[in-house]
Amino acid sequence: MSNGYADVFYQASLSTAASRHSIIRALESGAPHSSLARLRSDLSRDFWACLGGSPWPCPLNIQRGEPKTLMAAALDEVGYYSDNAGKAGAGQRKERANAGEQEGRVNAGEQERRVNAGEQNTRAYTRERIVFEAEAGLLTPAYLLVPEGVNAAVGAGAAARAGAAAGAGAAAGASAIAGAIATVGAGAPTVIALTGHGFGVADIVGLKPDGSEQKPGESSYQKAFAVALAQRGFVVIAPELMGFGELRLERDIEPDDPETSSCNSISSMLLTIGRTMAGVRVNQARRCADALVELGYHCPPVAMGISGGGLVCTYFTALDERVRACCISGFANTYRGCICAMHHCIDNYQPGLLLTADMPDILSLIAPRPMIWESGERDPIFPIKHVMEAEAIVRRVYDFYGKGEDFVLDRFDDEHVIHGIQSYDFLWKHATS
């Protein structure tokens, strides 16, 4: 079959979306700020519903100790495979994850200092493995990378409890809360790093599939970008996204291929209950923002992701205004130019997506917050031609808000890879301003 039918289908779908949600159409009609605000609010609501809506809330239950029993019990109950074996020794342990013996992965509660000499703008940092409950029954492993010399702040709630325990009374307790709130935003900048397809979050925090340390030249298309951000001074939280790495189904694990995923299996099951993989992953990212605060890192986060992680970064930032800036690498495009034009993973598709909006409309929800895109000239799955189409649309929205300088496209001569040349500095600038 030719592409003609697909084009007709695409245009018919978008004509419906445009009549309801097109931000550009609203700008062209001279809509006032108040009307545009209502349109954005409606689009955010309908888009979140398209992703499957909010899960049942639950406490984070952050675990910074040995997670073996907790993870095995909770994840196995819902069919997610995770198993840990071995004992810690000399600062390292053996961990079996996903179906193969892995050596040297940092144990929860243990921290290892990493120094990468010879790179610009680098500093020592610690890497700690944590686990939190993203939603009921879904324990999410994550890595916390903390630059040397950065300490977690005491949260307002903890300060108030301390004041009350000391018998300070209501007035002193209120003073403690005010003092703690005054420190918000004064700590280290934070970033939520979102992995793309591959062998999981380990890839972006400097680990190989067997859990050993990556050496120079061994990184993938993701270039261990969480490490690069930590070396520049960010406190980084990098979650294992559903369907990748440790959050795969046992039936999908192939010992000889660590990059197999459970995207198809889990996405299919989620669709039967009215949810989507994108919605689950966005919720994992949102809970990372909650976890940073609970861990004592109070600065509003920025976010960065590539490819499938770029999707999560886009949707998360569009829907959660706590994110103060973002870098979307290897994803920003039009739906017609990428996921409707060629084969992509099922996690890119949500029921009713094109009846809600095109990708530039979703990207426009991020305005006027600072945003940078990374797009390779030779990216075969997110073609530069359609990046430029989307860029022209989104730039009009930034110009409408008088924030054109806060929207940057880094167009570079490469394929589907992290670039980092402009984006790391861009995120640092807007995380610390």
Strands 235-239 and 190-194: parallel
Please, which contacts does 294-297 make with residues 24 or more away whose CB atoms are closer than 8 Å? 294/60, 294/62, 294/155, 295/62, 295/130, 295/144, 295/152, 296/152, 296/153, 296/154, 296/155, 297/152, 297/153, 297/187, 297/188, 297/190, 297/235
d(CA 410, CA 315): 20
- The 10s digit of each residue's pLDDT in 386-413 is 999 999 999 999 999 999 999 999 999 9
What stretches in the chain show pLDDT beneath 50?
1, 65-120, 155-186
Of 212, 214, 244, which is closest to residue 93 (Cα–Cα)? Answer: 212
Contacts of 388 (CB under 8 A, 6+ apart): none
Q: Which two tokens stand for residue 91?
A: 């600062």
Calpha distance 26→22 (Å, rounded): 6
pLDDT at site 371: 98
Q: Which residues, other chains included, contact 19 with Cβ-Cβ below 8 Å and sequence gap of 6+?
A: none
Give the residues across from 191 on adjacent strands. Answer: 236, 302
Q: State the pTM of this model.
A: 0.79
Domains identified in the chain and CATH numbers: 68-150+187-432 (3.40.50.1820)
Q: How far is CA 12 from CA 17, 24, 88, 295, 317, in A?
A: 9, 18, 59, 47, 28
Q: Given this model, what pLDDT does residue 110 score?
A: 38
Beta bridge partners of 238: 143
Q: Which of 124, 86, 121 is nearest to 107 (CA)?
A: 86
- Give the CA dihedral 267, 85, 124, 193, nearest 10 degrees: 10
Read off the amino acid at residue 123: R
Other beta carbons within 10 angstroms of residue 69's beta carbon come to 9
DSSP state of 369: S
pLDDT of residue 180: 35
Residues 388, 334: contact at Cβ < 8 Å?
Answer: no
